[in-house]
Amino acid sequence: MAETGRNRVGVGEKLGYGIGDLSAGLILNFFGFFLLFYFVDLGGLAPAAIGLMLLLTKLIDAFTDPMMGALADRTRTRWGRYRPYLLFGPVPLGIAIVLIFAAPGGLSDSWLLAWAYITYTLSMLAFTAVNVPYGGLLGVISPSSETRASVTAYRMFFSALGGILVGALGTTLVRELGGGDDALGVLLTISCIAAVSVFCLLVTFFTTKERIPFADTNGSLSGDLKELLTTGPWIVVAIAAILGVTAIAARAGSALFFFKYVVGDDGSPVFLFFDRPALFLTALALGQITGVIVGNLLQKTFEKSHLLIAAGGLKVAMIVLFYFLPLDAIWPQTVVQYLVGIGFGMLMVLSYSMFTDIAEFIDWKSGRQMTALVVAASVFAVKAGIAFGSAIPGFTLDLTGFVNGAQQSETALMGIQIAFAAIPAGVMIPALIALMFYGINRQVIAEVERDLSTRRAAPA
C-alpha cells in the first residue's frame, strides 16, 4: 500500500520513532555485558545464582508482557493508545535500572542476591511498561507494511547504535568514571544511560502519530490470547527471535570471562582506546547496523522468512569460525564478529517487521486489533533472550568449576568456551527450522492490506 496524504510518515518522524530504541539498545546491551560480571566477578555471587535469577524473572515477564500488551491495546486517551506510556514511563524506568547497580556496600551474599532479584524485577516491569507500547506504536504508525518496514530499519539502527556506544565506551567509561573502582564505574555509567534513555523516549512521544484508528471494542482478553497462541506465524517468529537474541546474549555475557580468563587479556587498549572486549562488542554492533541496512533493502525483493534463515545461517557459520581462530588473532576475530553482527542485524530488523505484519494478519483474519499484544512477543523475545543468554554462562561456569578472580582449571576454561561458542551456535538450529513454517508471504500481505484498507474506509 502506497503512502498518501495523512498516512505519509516523514523522515523526521521515522527518526523520532527510531531514537526511542536507543534507550532499549543502551539498557539491554549494558545488562547483557555487565550484569553477570557485576554480581559474579565484582560482587562474588555464585554464577548459577544470578543465572537462576535471570530465568525466574522471565516467568514474571511471561505474564506481564502480554498483560501490558492487552492493556495498551485497550487504552483510550487524547494521546492515543500507546504514546501515553512513552510520556509517563521513562522516568520510573531510568530510576529502576540505576537501582540494580546501586547496592549498598557491605551486604552479605544473601542480601546482595535479594537486592539483585528485587531491583532487576522492578527494572524489567518498568521496561515492559514502556517498550511494549513502544513496539505497539510501530504497528499503528502506518497502514503500509513497506512503510512500517522502513520505520523498523530506523528503529534497528538506533538499537544497534546503543550496542556500539556500550561496546565502544562501556569499559572505558567504567574504568575512567570509577577511577579504579569498577563497581562505582558501573553505577555512574548506568546513570548516564538512564538520563539518555529518558530523553530518547520523550522525543519519540513528541514526534510520532498513531494513524490506524482503534476499534470500539477489542473483545475479551482470553479471546485475544487464544487467537494469538493459535497463530502459527507468531509462534514461529517468537521462537526465532528468542533464540536469535539468546545466541548473541550468551556470547556477550561470557565475553568478559572469555577475554580475561581464556585469552589472558589485561584490559589494555589494542586500538586507540578500545580494549579487546570493547573491540569485540563494537564489531558486533557495527555489523548489526550493516545487517539492518542490508535486511531492509533485501526485504523489498525477497521473502522475509527466507532472509531470516540466511541471516541465521551466517551467524552460526561465523560463530563456529571464530572458535577455530587463534586467540591472538585480533583482527580476524574482529572481522568474523562483524559478520556475526550482520546476521544478527538482519534477524532483528526482519523479525520486528514481521511482528507488525502478523498483527495486521490477525486483524484481517479475526477482526481483533491486538497490535501491542502481538508485538509484546518482540519485547519478551529480547528480554528472554538476554536472560537465557546470560543464564547460560552463569550455569555453565558454575557447573564447570569457575572461581572468580582465580586461576581457572582446564574444565572451567572449557566451560567458558562452551558458553561463548558452542551453545550460541547450537541454539540457532531450531530457530532456522521453525522459520521454514512461517507461511505469510508477500502475496498474502498485499491481500491483507487491500482488504483492511477497504474495511477501515467503510463508514462505521
**Does residue 359 have a pLDDT over 90?**
no
Confidence class for position 303, pLDDT limits 50, 70, 90 = very high
Instruction: List Cβ<8 Å contacts ≥24 apart for 324-331.
Output: 327/262, 327/263, 327/264, 328/263, 330/270, 330/276, 330/279
Bigger pLDDT: 33 vs 77: 77
Q: Look at residue 410 in the predicted model and tell me its pLDDT.
A: 94
Q: Look at residue 152 in the predicted model and tell me its pLDDT.
A: 87
**Does residue 329 have a pLDDT over 80?**
yes
Q: Look at residue 459 in the predicted model and tell me its pLDDT.
A: 64
Cα dihedral: 183, 184, 187, 189 (round 10): -110
Give exposure, 194-217, as e/b (b: 16+ Cβ within 10 Å): bebbbebbbbbbebbbbbbebeee
Q: Look at residue 217 in the predicted model and tell me its pLDDT.
A: 57
CB distance 321 to 203 below 8 Å = no
Bigger pLDDT: 411 vs 375: 411
Highest mean pLDDT among 99-103, 105-109, 283-287: 99-103
Indicate the DSSP class of residue 141.
S
Bigger pLDDT: 368 vs 334: 334
Chain position carrying cell 486517551: 77
CB distance 336 to 318 below 8 Å = yes
Q: Look at residue 348 in the predicted model and tell me its pLDDT.
A: 84
Q: Look at residue 232 in the predicted model and tell me its pLDDT.
A: 92
Rounded Cα–Cα distance for residues 35 and 120 (Å)? 10
Give the predicted TM-score (pTM) of the model: 0.77
Please, which residues have CB within 8 angstroms of residue 412's CB and are 6 or more apart in sequence? Answer: 261, 397, 400, 401, 402, 403
Q: Look at residue 396 in the predicted model and tell me its pLDDT.
A: 92
Q: Look at residue 283 in the predicted model and tell me its pLDDT.
A: 92
Mean pLDDT, residues 134-158 taken together: 88
Confidence class for position 128, pLDDT limits 50, 70, 90 = very high
Q: What DSSP letter does each residue of 23-79 carry, written as one string?
A: HHHHHHHHIIIIIHHIIIIIT---HHHHHHHHHHHHHHHHHHHHHHHHHHHT--BTT
Average pLDDT over the chain, rounded to whole?
89
For the chain, what is the radius of gyration of the CA atoms? 21
Per-residue pLDDT reduced to its tens digit, 81-95: 999 999 999 999 999
CB distance 321 to 336 below 8 Å = yes
Confidence class for position 227, pLDDT limits 50, 70, 90 = confident
Q: Mapping DSSP to helix (H, G, I), strand (E, B) and coil, where does residue 274 land?
A: strand
Q: Look at residue 418 in the predicted model and tell me its pLDDT.
A: 94
CB distance 437 to 237 below 8 Å = no
What is the percent of the chain with per-residue pLDDT over 70, rounded to a whole number? Answer: 96
**Does residue 74 have a pLDDT over 60?**
yes
Please, which residues have CB within 8 angstroms of residue 17's CB and are 6 or more apart in sequence? Answer: 137, 138, 141, 151, 154, 155, 204, 207, 208
Q: Look at residue 6 in the predicted model and tell me its pLDDT.
A: 59
Per-residue pLDDT reduced to its tens digit, 429-452: 999 999 999 989 999 999 998 998
**Does residue 214 have a pLDDT over 90?**
no
Q: Look at residue 119 in the predicted model and tell me its pLDDT.
A: 96
Per-residue pLDDT reduced to its tens digit, 5-58: 556 899 999 999 999 999 999 998 899 888 988 998 888 898 888 888 888 887
Q: Look at residue 460 in the predicted model and tell me its pLDDT.
A: 52
Q: Look at residue 216 in the predicted model and tell me its pLDDT.
A: 60
What is the percent of the chain with per-residue pLDDT over 90, rounded to a whole number? Answer: 50
Confidence class for position 219, pLDDT limits 50, 70, 90 = low
CB distance 338 to 30 below 8 Å = no
**Does residue 271 have a pLDDT over 90?**
no
- DSSP-assigned beta bridge partners for residue 48: none
Rounded Cα–Cα distance for residues 98 and 116 (Å)? 12
Q: Mapping DSSP to helix (H, G, I), strand (E, B) and coil, where does residue 247 land?
A: helix
Per-residue pLDDT reduced to its tens digit, 275-295: 898 899 889 989 988 998 999
Chain position carrying cell 538476554: 386
